[in-house]
Amino acid sequence: MAEKDTVMETEEKEVVSKNFIEQEIDKDLAEGVYDHVQTRFPPEPNGYLHIGHAKSILLNYGLAQKYGGKFNLRFDDTNPTKEKTEFVESIMADVKWLGADFDDRLFFASNYFEQMYQCAVFLIKKGKAFVCDLTAEEIREYRGDFTTPGKESPYRNRTPEENLKLFEDMKDGKYRDGEKVLRAKIDMASPNINMRDPVIYRVAHMAHHNTGDKWCIYPMYDFAHPIEDAIEKITHSICTLEFEDHRPLYDWVVRECEFENPPRQIEFAKLYLTNVVTGKRYIKKLVEDGIVDGWDDPRLVSIAALRRRGYTPEAIKMFVDLVGVSKANSSVDYAMLEYCIREDLKLKRPRMMAILDPVKLVIDNYPEGQTELLDVPNNLENPELGDRKVPFGRELYIEREDFMEEPPKKYFRMFPGNEVRLMGAYFVTCTGCEKDENGNVTVVHGTYDPETKSGSGFEGRKVKGTIHWVAVPTARQVECRLYENIVDEEKGKMNEDGSLNLNPNSLTVLKNCFVEPALAEGKAYDSYQFVRNGFFCVDCKDSTPEQPVFNRIVSLKSSFRLPK
């Protein structure tokens, strides 16, 4: 009896933790609508992918995995105007990097142009599609609006024979762009405007990146997409909410084209983030206006930018899981993404010493010319990361903010007369400082106690402050880049004229930083915790062995708390 209860309990829990898409899939499988699960991610190669796409990729890939099904990467490249091979390559790299394995399941919608054409011919023969000579402007007028029903096109009742001939002529290049279109024959009085005889094929004398000049007619998205899904035997075609009103047309296309086991569209809410720009259109504008350094500028949330900044696929996955899948649009706090990368890196990465705003500390009683190599643990919370050797000597760099001549209350770092621990080294007592003619501190002085070496078991007394340092002779000078939100959310992302409300301080470049020598050996994308200063990553574009460049991924502290 007890055993049975436990089983029921876990079963119940499982049901509760499933998102609404999984519940729909369970139902379809239980009712025999489908006997397998097949999903896809269908990007249009007209830009780089961003964090919102990552959500869609991981959702679709995750479902395929959970149900033992398949996942396709399919380029939705049916519009020849905006698409570029550069984007095809970046998208493939990003999807792979996220860990969504598509193996040999890589498809291009443009390879289905012939089948799409045959579907159109099939509809014409059934009397479900017609060639229309109205101009784009007239079609819009005839369409009506939410309150007015549409008016039928005078060409609506052409015979299938006539339509077949005209459609073939369209294909054979006998008409100019816009001169004729093929329309589905559905219902001009439908309350859903998408169903008012939508255009399904247009003439466009344009070369396509994959098919070249083979076609001068191209299918419209609402016609092409369901056919692509059906050809690939997709079961659950997951898309974002703006397509909800298009679902009746999606269903009409797969039904009237008489596909067996047609796919089913399910919509979820897009992911939006505060303080950043998602949306290809806006990212593209920042890139084109030269406000950012390309699609992978670390201030952006394109996947390439997140990778360059130092984000890991694991952190992005954690973020997407935390956000969940929903039917209601909302914005997620950017701080949640930062929380995820901190959580992911905190035990995995060594904690190294780097000084971002240096001032010299001279330990006057440390023998001149002497150096030693100290064993410093890489991560106190994760002993598996081991120790490293850090050079120590008489002259060190410390952070300027770690010394104050006249400290406020509760300041436990260096001030005259105070003793602190130098991380992984000795106790030092501050004895004073030197200043330049403007009163700026140029050198801090102190004396050390040789008995207090870290790891020696010294227990004579305690100090309240520990500061980090880098030995001067072996220090490497590096550049560090600190980032802030690219748009100012508090004042609203947009200005009244529709331009983005940019934060002028989104990038700070520090050129006079000093790091322990081991850090200069980092390769592109290697990341570390810099004690007290945050997590940093070697920049993949600008860092060289001679002049290392680090991007701050995220600072260490945040007031962000996970929502319960």
Q: Which of 43, 150, 219, 350 binds ligand ATP (CB under 6 A)?
A: 43
CB closer to ligand ATP, 94 vs 197: 94
Q: What is the rounded CA–CA span in Å between residue 309 and residue 312? A: 9
Q: Is 53 in the site for ligand ATP (CB under 6 A)?
A: yes
Check if the beta carbon of residue 219 is closer than 8 Å to that of residue 170.
no
**Distance spanning both ends of the chain, measured CA to CA:** 34
Which of 50-58, 246-254, 325-333, 382-390 is the region at the interface with ligand ATP (rule: CB under 6 A)?
50-58
**Binding ligand ATP by CB under 6 A: which of 21, 22, 39, 42?**
42
Q: Which of residues 39-98 bind Mg ion (CB under 5 A)?
A: 44
Name the residue whose CB lies closest to ligand ATP: 52
State the binding string over 293-332 for Mg ion (x if CB under 5 A, else -).
----------------------------------------
Distant-in-sequence contacts of 424-428, Cβ < 8 A, 24+ apart: 424/374, 424/375, 424/376, 424/377, 424/390, 424/454, 425/374, 425/392, 425/453, 425/454, 425/469, 426/450, 426/452, 426/453, 426/454, 427/452, 427/463, 428/361, 428/363
**x/- map, 230-269, ligand ATP, by CB under 6 A:** ---------xx-----------------------------
* Residue from 38, 275, 278, 503 binding ligand ATP (CB under 6 A): 278
The two tokens of residue 332 are 């997620």
Stretch that binds ligand ATP, among 138-146, 272-280, 322-330, 484-492 (CB under 6 A): 272-280
Residue 261 to residues 123, 222, 224, 255, 540, Cα–Cα distance (Å): 18, 19, 17, 10, 47
CB nearer to ligand ATP: pick between 164 and 241:
241
Of 40-48, 203-211, 376-384, 556-564, the segment contacting ligand ATP by CB under 6 A is 40-48
User: Could you tell me whether strands 199-203 and 181-184 are parallel, antiparallel, or unpaired per DSSP bridges?
Assistant: antiparallel
Q: Examine residue 52 and tell whether it contacts ligand ATP (CB under 6 A).
A: yes
Residue 523 touches which member of ligand ATP, Mg ion, none, C-beta under 5-8 Å by kind: none
Residue 64 near residue 39, CB atoms below 8 Å: yes
Per CB under 6 A, does 321 bind ligand ATP? no
Number of Cα atoms under 13 Å in the Cβ half of residue 79: 14
Q: What are the strands, taking DSSP E only, across 450-564?
A: 466-467, 470-471, 476-483, 507-515, 527-530, 534-538, 549-554
Instruction: Return d(Cα 278, Cα 499) in angstroms, integer.
Output: 15
Encoded tokens for 320: 């997407």
One of 37, 38, 55, 250 touching ligand ATP (CB under 6 A) = 55
HSE (side-chain half, CA atoms, 13 Å) at 151: 7
CB nearer to Mg ion: give 67 or 223: 223
Q: Interface with ligand ATP includes 110 (CB under 6 A)?
A: no
Residue nearest to Mg ion (CB): 44
Identify the residue among 37, 271, 332, 341 touching ligand ATP (CB under 6 A): 271
Q: Which stretch binds ligand ATP (CB under 6 A): 112-120, 131-139, 153-161, 273-281?
A: 273-281
How many chain residues touch ligand ATP (CB under 6 A)?
A: 15
Residue 74 lies near ligand ATP (rule: CB under 6 A): no
Nearer to Mg ion, 44 or 133 (CB): 44
160 interface partner picked from Mg ion, ligand ATP, none, CB below 5 to 8 A per type: none
Measured from the CB of residue 240, what is the shortest distance to ligand ATP in angstroms? Answer: 4
- For the bound state, the minimum distance from the C-beta of residue 43 to ligand ATP, rounded and expressed in Å, comes to 4
Nearer to ligand ATP, 10 or 331 (CB): 331
**Residues ≥6 apart with Cβ < 8 Å to 502:** 291, 486, 487, 488
> Which stretch in 9-17, 277-285, 365-373, 496-504 sits in contact with ligand ATP by CB under 6 A?
277-285
The Cα–Cα gap between 369 and 385 comes to 31
Per the CB < 8 A criterion, the answer to whether 97 and 316 are in contact is no
Interacting stretch for ligand ATP, rule CB under 6 A, among 159-167, 276-284, 386-394, 445-453? 276-284
Nearest-angstrom CA–CA distance, 144 and 138: 11
- Closest Cα partner for 230 from 34, 5, 366? 34
DSSP 494: B
User: DSSP 3-state assignment of 29?
Assistant: helix
Q: Determine contact, residues 37/69, Cβ cutoff 8 Å.
A: yes
- Residue 279 binding ligand ATP, by CB under 6 A: yes
514 near 521, Cβ under 8 Å? no
Name the residue nearer to ligand ATP (CB basis): 43 or 263.
Answer: 43
Q: Quick one: 71 or 514, whose CB is closer to ligand ATP?
A: 71
Site for ligand ATP in 5-24 (CB under 6 A): none
Q: Which helix (H) or strand (E) holds 88?
A: helix 85-97
Residue 280 binds ligand ATP, judged by CB under 6 A: yes
Residues that bind Mg ion in the complex, under the rule CB under 5 A? 44
Residues that bind ligand ATP in the complex, under the rule CB under 6 A? 42-44, 52-53, 55-56, 239-240, 270-271, 278-281
